[in-house]
Amino acid sequence: MRPLIAGNWKMNGLTPQLAEIEAIATCVAETPPFADILICPPSTLITRAVQVAAGRIAIGGQDCRKEIAGAFTGGISAEMLRDAGASTVIVGHSECRQHYGETNALVAAKAKAAMRAGILAIICIGETKSQRQEGKALSACGDQISGSVPEGITSSANAIGYEPLWAIGTGESATHEEIAEVHAHIRQCLVARFGAEGKKVRILYGGSVDPINAREILALPEVGGVLVGGESLKTADFEAIIKAVSAKA
């Protein structure tokens, strides 16, 4: 399975930062990695990012509404993302679940919207610090898989993003044992629900991924790529993470 290295810029990026996408796209073109490369900039940059990337890397969106269109001021539909040139959308990110109160059902509806629009989905799940401390990490992730992943999300082009909430932006990454355990559990949940098709979905790890820990994380069983936050904003660091995929190859 070809790994996916995905960068989530979150609410960062103005016109000058398009130069970062150009630099990453050039690096990928000059030394093709054994991985698919995706950057999800803010929606204001998507169309220009697609132009700058020129097919060398994929560009995605960070969220979408479940509706096609309507009176939802500030909302962006999956169809709008596709129209802007995005190939993928992140749904259910921990920050959206925490700050905007997104439920599993809403995340599943957004993933269905991506399917409807003909773009791919990265469906994010992950446990809180208290759930981890109480020994409930696996059950919490299993519940989110059950509630957030709709039927039909079984292509290797789509992905599950495992993000322990306590590791997002904290500099504290899960241990290798914790990552391997949860990824194995996610795979078991997918196979139990979808059968052989459940083996095709890539499972990404996200949570303070950096150039130092990326190689070892990517080499772990059932890790089909990484979802990178702040480090994807820095060309040198993101390129180093991309090059780390050679360990997986």
Mean pLDDT, rounded, of the chain: 94
> Which residue ranges form the domains of the chain, and what is each CATH number?
4-64+86-247 (3.20.20.70)
Report residue 11's pLDDT band, with 50, 70 and 90 as the boundaries: very high
Kindly state the average pLDDT of the residues 206-225: 94
The answer to whether residue 93 is catalytic is yes
The answer to whether residue 163 is catalytic is yes
Q: What's the pLDDT at 247? A: 47
Q: What's the pLDDT at 246? A: 67
Task: List, for residues 30-55, the tens digit of each pLDDT value.
Answer: 999 999 999 999 999 999 999 999 99
- 82 sits in the region (left: phi over 0; alpha: psi -120 to 50; else beta) called alpha
CA distance 138 to 184: 10
Q: What's the pLDDT at 58? A: 98
Q: What's the pLDDT at 36? A: 96
Q: Cα 94 vs. chain centroid, distance in angstroms?
A: 11
CA distance 220 to 18: 32
Report residue 199's pLDDT band, with 50, 70 and 90 as the boundaries: very high
pLDDT at position 249 over 70: no
Task: List, for residues 128-172, the tens digit of each pLDDT value.
Answer: 999 999 999 999 999 999 999 998 877 767 999 999 988 877 777
Catalytic residue among 20, 79, 102, 163: 163
Q: What's the pLDDT at 152? A: 82
- Is residue 148 a contact partner of residue 107, using CB atoms and an 8 Å limit? yes
Q: Which residues contact 135 (CB under 8 A, 6 or more apart)?
A: none
Catalytic residue among 20, 79, 93, 102: 93
pTM assigned to the model: 0.95
Task: List, for residues 62-121, the tens digit of each pLDDT value.
Answer: 999 999 999 999 999 999 999 999 999 999 999 999 999 999 999 999 999 999 999 999
Q: Which residues contact 208 (CB under 8 A, 6 or more apart)?
A: 167, 168, 169, 170, 171, 172, 173, 229
Kindly state the average pLDDT of the residues 180-186: 97
